[in-house]
Amino acid sequence: MTRIRATRRVAVAVTIAVALAACSTPTPTPAPIVASTPTVVPTSVATPSGDGVLRIGTIFPTSGTFSFLAAAQKAGVAAAVKEINAAGGVNGEPVEIVAVDSGEAKNTKLESNFKTLVSKDVDVVIGPSSSVLAQRAIPLAIDAKIPLISPAATLSSLDDVFDDGYFFRTIPAYDQQGYALAETLAGGDTTQRIAFVYVDDEEGVALHDTFVEALAEYDTELVADEVFTSSTTKFDTITASVKKAEPDIVVIGSTYEAEKATKAAIEKIVAAGYKGSELWLTSLNTGDYSQAFKNGTLKGIRGVIEGAQPSKTFIATLKDTNSKLTTYRYGAEAYDATMLAALAAIVAGDDAGEAIAGSLYDVSKSGVKCLSFEECLEVLKTTNDIDYDGVSGPVNFTPGGNVEPAFWGYYTYDGENKFVYKSGSIVG
């Protein structure tokens, strides 16, 4: 069940008829590298407009508050490029990386450094990690006719606002977790009574609407539907309303921007008796609460976070490019973004940004499945109709640039109020 929210002006040259595998994590261990890139018949007869060298720009936060997110993403791009170049590069030439700092939302590094990427003739940009910065980067990418592929920007409205065919993401939009939650909480044999308490902001409302829509697919309705603002500190009325509805499960849908309200909501709902698996948190409030609550307060509480949990094999691949890595979040998504860009350039027979943007949708779905660059090269010897499935999941782009279905991880809090990965599934 694919849900498409925006119409993207991308030419689709293939017929869409493929069965998607669900609820299983792919295991795309890099295959042995071949010595050369096969000759591929371009999908377009137009003369290539690129300069023959695929240059991948990266714009991750290497400074500032969120700099801890950059290392894994840079390693993911580097690992992919290493594999691509060992196999002969793209259209016979090695791929190059041009890296700049995205900075933070409070400064203008993104704008100035994006200009640097354009001046160095990059053909595609991987990043940024922030949804706020992605909003600012997308118009720049459209102006430069360079596709922007974010491994981490989850703002639900990004693909609705920009309809020019230059924005893609290998991470699911925030609101899509409504389907993951519905499948997990309402998709079993036992009917569950579910209450939803959410923050009244763009993301909270988007998640609410998607969750309600998804629950309807399981003939389930919310027994309590409560909203609060980021400035709410007292939850007595909301908690009383939730208790009156007698739910089996309470879900709190809030964001980091509503940190104080989120903590107050969790504290009050836990005190009302909803503990362990009776309480679920969402991806923008499933965080480390070891300093916020007394040990054991959140033990057994569940949470959902978008993105694949890297395998030991892929972690080793990342550490081959950066031995100091200690966190791996978004590394898989950055790796897949790079692989898709390279394959799009090969299928288009052109490394120009416009050609890559027009080919990204096609190489992501509906063709002959391939799980690594080397495997895709083998398929490309006989057909341009490929479907790359990566280390982060199927990475099938919608015409709006989203990835559906997508991988969601399910977490459980330990006695120190820290979340621990337990399982995951592909939903969509």
pLDDT reported for residue 188:
86
Backbone angles phi, psi at 379, to 5 degrees: -65, -40
- All residues at 6 or more sequence positions from 271 whose CB lies less than 8 Å from its CB, including other chains: none
- Strand order of the β-sheet with 124-126 is 96-101, 55-60, 124-126, 148-150, 167-169
**Cα–Cα distance for residue pair 371/28, rounded to 1 Å:** 6
pLDDT of residue 96: 98
Give mean pLDDT, residues 383-404: 95
- Condensed to tens digits (0 to 9), the pLDDT of residues 336-381 reads 999 999 999 999 999 999 999 999 999 999 999 999 999 999 999 9
Q: Which helix (H) or strand (E) holds 200?
A: none
Query: Could you give the residue ranges of the DSSP H alpha helices within 217-249?
Result: 236-245
Residue 160 has a pLDDT of: 76
Q: Given pLDDT bands bounded at 50, 70 and 90, which one contains residue 159? A: confident
CATH number given to 175-306+408-427? 3.40.50.2300
* CATH for the stretch 55-172+310-404: 3.40.50.2300
- DSSP-assigned states of every residue in 298-332: TTT-EEEEES----HHHHHHHHHH-TT----TTHH
Quick check: 416 pLDDT over 90? yes
Q: How confident is the model over 203-212, as a mean pLDDT?
A: 97
Contact 246, 194 (CB under 8 A): no
Number of helices (H), then strands (E), in the chain: 12, 14
28 against 345, higher pLDDT: 345
Q: Which residue from 209, 177, 418, 173 is spatially nearest to 282, judged by alpha carbons?
A: 177
d(CA 156, CA 310): 24
The alpha carbon of residue 376 and the mean position of all alpha carbons in its chain are separated, in whole angstroms, by: 22
At residue 17, the pLDDT reads: 30
Q: CA-to-CA distance for 39 and 129, rounded, in angstroms?
A: 35
Task: Indicate if the alpha-carbon torsion angle 183, 187, 190, 193 is positive or negative.
Answer: positive
Q: Where are the domains of the chain?
A: 55-172+310-404, 175-306+408-427
Confidence class of residue 163 from pLDDT cuts 50, 70 and 90?
A: low
Across the range 140-147, mean pLDDT stands at 97
The pLDDT of residue 211 is 98
| Percent of the chain with pLDDT strictly greater than 90 | 85
pLDDT tens digits, residue range 81-127?
Answer: 999 999 999 999 999 999 999 999 999 999 999 999 999 999 999 99
**Among 308, 309, 316, 317, which Cα is nearest to 80's?**
317
> Which carries the bigger pLDDT value, residue 26 or residue 424?
424
Same fold? 55-172+310-404, 175-306+408-427: yes
Can you tell me the distance from the alpha carbon of 22 to that of 112, in angstroms, rounded to the nearest whole number?
A: 42
Residue 46 pLDDT exceeds 70: no
Say whether pLDDT at 12 is over 80. no
In the chain, pLDDT over 70 holds for what percent of residues?
89
The two three-digit tokens of residue 417, written as one number: 């109020």
Question: Which 3-state string (H, E, C) describes 274-293?
Answer: CCHHHEEECCCCCCCCCCCC
The secondary structure of residue 218, as a DSSP letter, is T
pLDDT (tens digit per residue) in 306-332? 999 999 999 999 999 999 999 999 999
The predicted structure's pLDDT at residue 38: 43
The answer to whether 137 and 369 have CB atoms below 8 angstroms apart is no
* Predicted pLDDT of residue 7: 34
Helix (H, G, I), strand (E, B) or coil at 69: helix
3-state secondary structure of 253: strand
Asked if pLDDT for residue 137 goes beyond 80, the answer is: yes
Identify the residue with better confidence: 155 or 19.
155
Residue-level pLDDT at 47: 80
Q: Tens digit of pLDDT for each residue in 284-296? A: 999 999 999 999 9
Res. 35: pLDDT tops 70? no
Structure tokens at 55: 């240059």
